[in-house]
A and B are shown apart, each in its own frame.
Chain A
């Protein structure tokens, strides 16, 4: 269904953004810009 396909497209984009956010967090911590670890 076109509507469900559209929802799945947005879900894919959101998952991509989530991975990007996690990657940013990872890089911030590892580069000691965000000294959490």
Chain B
């Protein structure tokens, strides 16, 4: 499985490279309009390249399972963020080079007097800058996540539409029929993606509703939401994966949130998510009523023991609500009667915050599971580990064997904990391919 996924990973990178470079390569061949000065041509080429990269962002975020499978969703979203910054720099250089090369073009910034091609270009760059600033500093600006997501989508559509209009109105490099066909094809492909994301996907979700079955209070301000499929077979998932949940609104409203499954993958009649109260949406989970309709898009993610079936044992490192995907994996392994050696290192602030602690205790009867609780603020007389999940703590508890496939480590929790654990694992000689993290807090 590992080799096949690796090949898929390389394949999609090559497809991405091809799609990003094709518009520029095609401009380079065939009949081209008379050349102009170097800096102006460089500026134009950077504009075309940046736009090709921007338009492909819609592919990255369209949640095509086949594309996400080799990397995992968090890596795709991280790449989406980084490549957007790179594309933004290229796009920004496009007008800057023009202004430096021919200062009289600065008059194009005057939206009242400038021709429409310039207006479209200037507004596209301004909106792109707003989009990027809002994404990088969403929390600093206190923009609520759902509102940010809606505006992110709308601004992205506006930016690419205006940039396309800018190219068509400038009409310099789309002067031959086949180049017009190419760019029309690019535009159609992009519109098709939008139709898929905004219309077809929500319609498909609407036809596969779920009903709330139970909402159960857990320790640590968390709630387990159990939902059942209505009129369809539900979804099968790998333990550790996640789905996007839409509650209170229609899938067309684009107000979904990602949550890991906490239920066993072996039980298909219902699925459960355990959600901590952390924001506006998560605080409404407890108010969901039995019978209320919700929608699920998934499963997604590469964070699963099922992706590493040949491991001799598994180690889970969870911090707080990061226990959710681990619970799914532990419950599934128990349902399957798996007898491999398991270690759960579970960090919390206090003993009262330890979600699922009774169930984890009872799972030890069904699994070869050792549990190490780590408390930052332990109760009096606490004999176990305390503080944070440090390198020393990991060294004390990890299996001594370090060969490939000896054990696979799964890490989920607050960002500082995950960073520290990953660094410690590398220092302890754990192979890079043998530990896996799930990160949701990307924006």
A residues adjacent to B (C-beta < 8 A) = 1-5, 8-9, 11-13, 15-16, 18-20, 22-33, 37
For B411, the closest partner residue in chain A by CB is A1
In the bound assembly, the distance between CA atoms of A18 and B50 in angstroms comes to 12
Decide yes or no whether B216 CB sits under 8 A from chain A: no
Interface residues of B in 27-79 (CB under 8 A from A): 27-28, 32, 35-39, 41-42, 45-46, 48-50, 52-53, 71-72, 74-75, 78-79
Q: Are A22 and B24 touching (Cβ within 8 A)?
A: yes
Residues of B within 8 A of A4 (CB): 71-72, 75
Across the interface, B437 reaches (CB within 8 A) one of A1, A30, A32, namely A1
**Interface CB pairs A-B, < 8 A, 8:** A3-B432, A8-B78, A19-B52, A22-B49, A25-B28, A26-B28, A30-B32, A31-B38
Residues of A within 8 A of B74 (CB): 1, 5
Decide yes or no whether B422 CB sits under 8 A from chain A: yes
Q: Report if A19-B82 is in contact (Cβ < 8 Å); known contacts: A31-B35, A31-B36.
A: no
Q: Report if A2-B419 is in contact (Cβ < 8 Å); known contacts: A15-B83, A26-B24.
A: yes
Residues of B within 8 A of A32 (CB): 35
Q: Are B422 and A28 touching (Cβ within 8 A)?
A: no
Decide yes or no whether B418 CB sits under 8 A from chain A: yes
Q: Are A29 and B78 touching (Cβ within 8 A)?
A: no
In the bound assembly, the distance between CA atoms of A19 and B19 in angstroms comes to 11
Q: Are B422 and A1 touching (Cβ within 8 A)?
A: yes
Interface of B (DSSP majority class): helix
B residues adjacent to A (C-beta < 8 A) = 13, 16-17, 20-21, 24-25, 27-28, 32, 35-39, 41-42, 45-46, 48-50, 52-53, 71-72, 74-75, 78-79, 82-83, 85-87, 89-90, 418-419, 422, 426, 432, 435-437, 439
For A4, the closest partner residue in chain B by CB is B75
Q: Are B38 and A26 touching (Cβ within 8 A)?
A: no
For A17, the closest partner residue in chain B by CB is B86
Q: Report if A2-B437 is in contact (Cβ < 8 Å); known contacts: A19-B21, A23-B46, A27-B45.
A: yes
For A18, the closest partner residue in chain B by CB is B21
Residues of A within 8 A of B49 (CB): 19-20, 22-23
Q: Are A1 and B53 touching (Cβ within 8 A)?
A: no
Q: Are A27 and B53 touching (Cβ within 8 A)?
A: no
In the bound assembly, the distance between CA atoms of A22 and B16 in angstroms comes to 16
Q: Are A12 and B435 touching (Cβ within 8 A)?
A: no
Q: Are A30 and B422 touching (Cβ within 8 A)?
A: no
With A8-B71, A23-B45, A33-B38 already in contact, 10 other A-B pairs whose C-beta atoms are closer than 8 Å: A1-B72, A4-B71, A8-B79, A9-B79, A9-B82, A13-B82, A19-B46, A22-B24, A22-B25, A25-B28
Q: Are B82 and A1 touching (Cβ within 8 A)?
A: no
In the bound assembly, the distance between CA atoms of A15 and B90 in angstroms comes to 11
Q: Are A2 and B418 touching (Cβ within 8 A)?
A: yes
Residues of A within 8 A of B426 (CB): 3
Residues of B within 8 A of A18 (CB): 17, 20-21
Quote the shortest CB–CB distance from B92 to chain A (angstroms).
12
Across the interface, B89 reaches (CB within 8 A) one of A11, A16, A26, A37, namely A16
Residues of A within 8 A of B418 (CB): 2
Q: Are B422 and A2 touching (Cβ within 8 A)?
A: yes
Q: Are A27 and B437 touching (Cβ within 8 A)?
A: no
Q: Are B42 and A24 touching (Cβ within 8 A)?
A: yes
Quote the shortest CB–CB distance from A19 to chain B (angstroms).
4
For B435, the closest partner residue in chain A by CB is A1
Q: Report if A19-B422 is in contact (Cβ < 8 Å); known contacts: A4-B71, A8-B82.
A: no
Quote the shortest CB–CB distance from B11 to chain A (angstroms).
14
Q: Are B45 and A22 touching (Cβ within 8 A)?
A: yes
Quote the shortest CB–CB distance from B36 to chain A (angstroms).
7
Q: Are B89 and A12 touching (Cβ within 8 A)?
A: no
In the bound assembly, the distance between CA atoms of A9 and B76 in angstroms comes to 11
In the bound assembly, the distance between CA atoms of A12 and B36 in angstroms comes to 30
In the bound assembly, the distance between CA atoms of A22 and B437 in angstroms comes to 36
Q: Report if A30-B86 is in contact (Cβ < 8 Å); known contacts: A2-B422, A23-B46.
A: no
In the bound assembly, the distance between CA atoms of A22 and B17 in angstroms comes to 12
In the bound assembly, the distance between CA atoms of A26 and B48 in angstroms comes to 11
